[in-house]
Amino acid sequence: MAESYRRSSWKNMLFVAPYLTAFVTLLVFPLLWGMWLSLNKVDLFSGAKFVGLKNYARVLADPVFAQAVKNTALFVAVSVPSLVALGLFLALALNKTTRGSAFLRGLFFSSSILSVTIVTLIWRVVFIPGDGLLAVLFEAMGWTPIGFLSTKGWSLFSVGVATVWWCLGLPMMLFLAALQQIPADLYEAAALDNASKWRVLTRVTLPSIRSTIMMVAVIQIVMQFQLFGQAQLMTNGGPAGSSRPIVMYIYETSFVRWEIGMGAAASEILFAIILVAAMVQYWLSTRKEEA
């Protein structure tokens, strides 16, 4: 029995082979190749030349990279809590079986299926100076118009608004799924226990979905650190690099200046940042649970 099981076991590999092939060729191999590239000086003409950690030193010394890191960190620090809070709020408000809330759920989720080009197009219509929605509104109210896409500070903010609108669907759906897992009799027990709405929210609902809150936060940290398309299309990183994220720096270094080794080094640094941020978030929330 054990013998025949062992002999047949290599065949079991066949079941995972399709996925494993894709995983290795599309993820593991590029990851390792990227690491190797980051240790070489690579350009279009001369091929690779091993330079050790020199690329890392150059990236870390680059003030443009420092600015991109700062922009991205700020962006993540604001957009992720916004996404979690808004997603949670919408999920709590729409966790009903009425037709109206089903429609609104669909509506709020629908933005998620749009491509980044469409999303930025929509938000450019809102933010663009002159004929944009906000510009018209400001004019009608007699306020001084703001160049949302071309003013330092406002440009990153505008990218953030578009991003939150675009990405809100997934957190909301995950929270809704979690809310629906909470047994109804807990709420009945709480009603018999005279719990106020606030106490029900903080003592029953939120503790029941804390692992989902945690998961949504980690997913969003990982996703928002990779901000690129919206910034590229809405502000092109401007003005003066004030809305340039790390991925845009990587793109420009690798494919505009063709310093592929340096771009790879910046990628590895981004990889490390995301890993650390996600781990810290995970550690923080599990530690609280133990206590």
Partner 1 sequence: MSAAIEIQSVTKRYGALTVLDDISLTITPGEFVVFLGPSGCGKSTLLRMIAGLEAVDAGEIHLGGRRIDTLAPGQRGVAMVFQSYALYPHMTVAKNMAFGLENIGLEAAEITRRVTEAARVLEIDHLLDRKPAKLSGGQRQRVAIGRAIVKEPMAFLFDEPLSNLDAALRGRTRLELAQLHQRLGATMIFVTHDQVEAMTLADRIVIMNGRKIEQIGTPMDIYHRPKTRFVAEFVGSPAMSMLPVAAVTAESVEIAGLGRIAAQLPGLSGFDAAGAVLGVRAEDAHVLPADQSGLPFTISVVERLGDRTLLYGRLGTVCDLVVEDTGRSTAVAGQTVSVGFNPAALHLFDAAGRACDGLGG
User: Can you tell me which of 1, 9, 194, 287 binds partner 1, judged by CB under 8 A?
Assistant: 194
Cα dihedral value 267, 268, 273, 275, nearest 10: 120
User: Can you tell me which of 96, 199, 257, 288 binds partner 1, judged by CB under 8 A?
Assistant: 199
- Rounded CA-CA distance 212/210 in Å is 5
Lookup result for tokens 């990227």: 34
Question: Residue 280: in which H helix or E strand, if any?
Answer: helix 260-290
CB of 216 to partner 1, least distance (A): 18
Q: Does 291 bind partner 1 (CB under 8 A)?
A: no
User: Can you tell me which of 82, 111, 208, 226 binds partner 1, judged by CB under 8 A?
Assistant: 208
Q: Which is nearer to partner 1, 116 or 200 (CB)?
A: 200
- Rounded CA-CA distance 244/238 in Å is 7
What part of residues 152-191 is at the interface with partner 1 (CB under 8 A)? 183, 185-186, 188-191
User: Can you tell me which of 21, 115, 196, 286 binds partner 1, judged by CB under 8 A?
Assistant: 196
Cα dihedral value 65, 67, 70, 76, nearest 10: -80
Q: Does 142 bind partner 1 (CB under 8 A)?
A: no
Give the amino acid at 162.
Answer: A
CB of 213 to partner 1, least distance (A): 13
CB of 291 to partner 1, least distance (A): 12
Give the amino acid at 281.
Answer: Q
- Rounded CA-CA distance 109/90 in Å is 11
Q: Which is nearer to partner 1, 88 or 159 (CB)?
A: 88
Q: Which is nearer to partner 1, 139 or 193 (CB)?
A: 193
Q: Does 193 bind partner 1 (CB under 8 A)?
A: yes
Q: Does 195 bind partner 1 (CB under 8 A)?
A: yes
Q: Within 10 A of 179 (CB to CB), how many other CB atoms are there?
A: 17
Q: Does 110 bind partner 1 (CB under 8 A)?
A: no
Residues 6+ apart with CB under 8 A from 40: 48, 49, 50, 51, 55, 261
- Rounded CA-CA distance 70/152 in Å is 14
User: Can you tell me which of 21, 207, 211, 284 binds partner 1, judged by CB under 8 A?
Assistant: 207
Q: Does 144 bind partner 1 (CB under 8 A)?
A: no
Q: Does 204 bind partner 1 (CB under 8 A)?
A: yes
Q: Within 10 A of 115 (CB to CB), how many other CB atoms are there?
A: 10
Looking at 14-22, 28-36, 95-103, 201-209, which segment touches partner 1 (CB under 8 A)?
201-209
Q: Within 10 A of 160 (CB to CB), how many other CB atoms are there?
A: 22
| Residues at the site binding partner 1, with contacts judged by CB under 8 A | 183, 185-186, 188-196, 199, 203-204, 207-208
